[in-house]
Structure 1
Amino acid sequence: MEIPGVGPLLASALVGTIADPKAFRTGRNLAAWIGLVPRQNSSGGKERLGGITKQGDRYLRQMLVVGALAVVRYAVRNGTRRPWLVQLLARRTPKVAAVALANKTARMVWAIMTTGERYREPLAA
C-alpha cells in the first residue's frame, strides 16, 4: 500500500489473486498476465505495438488504472517529483499516461512481492 495509486482494496486484491509472485519470471510477465502490455502485431522483423491487450484479470487491470489515474490527476494539479511521469504527460494524453503508469505499478508490485523490500520513493533529479 506504500506505492502511490495502490490502496487497501487493490493491495488485498493483488495479494489474494497472485498466490505466488515467483511464478512470474519478470514483472513484464505479471503485467502481461493482468493485460497491461501492448498488443504485438510484428512480422518480418518489424515491431508493431498497439494498445493494451485486455486479455488478463479485468478487475486487477481496472483497479490499477483507476489508481494510476488518481496519481496522474494529482500530478497535473499539484505537480510531482517524478520526472518520468512529467515527461510522459507532456507527450501523451492523461489516460494513456495512466495506463503506462498502471503497467509500471504492476511491475513495481511484482518486484516488491518477490524481494520483500519496502517501496522507496524515487529521488528527484
Structure 2
Amino acid sequence: MEVAQAVMVTVELDFGGSVPAIAAALLDIERRYEPEDGKGRTFAILDAYGEGTRTGKLHLSMHVSAEKPGIGSLIFKPTGETLWSSRIVPSQDPKTPQFSGRNLSIYIDEGAGKLLTVDG
C-alpha cells in the first residue's frame, strides 16, 4: 500500500455478549505502528461505522489512511486476531506529497449546511 492511499477494512467482531457502540469497540482495537524512521504513526483510522448482526456480532467498517512508510496493523485485543496489516511504501507518483503530519484538515458538517473546521 502506498502513502496517501486509503482502504476500507470491514470485519465482524464477537464481543461475547452485547454489541458495543462503535466508540467503545474501537477501544478494543490496537493500532500497531512500525514507522521506517522510528517516529510517529504509519496510518490513521479516519472514520468507522457499523451495526450489530443477527448473530450478535458487530459488523464494523473502518476507513484507514496510509500516512508514512513502515508497517501498520489493527489487532482485536480480546482475541489477538490481526484485522488488517500492511507494509506502507512511499508513493510512486512524484506529485504525491509525503505526509508531514502538518497538512491534515478535518471538516465537520454541523447539520445546517455549514462546515466547521477542526485544527488538525
Q: Same fold (TM over 0.5)?
A: no
User: Whose strand fraction is larger, Structure 1's or Structure 2's?
Assistant: 2
Length-normalised TM-score, structure 1: 0.25
User: Whose helix fraction is larger, Structure 1's or Structure 2's?
Assistant: 1
Length-normalised TM-score, structure 2: 0.26
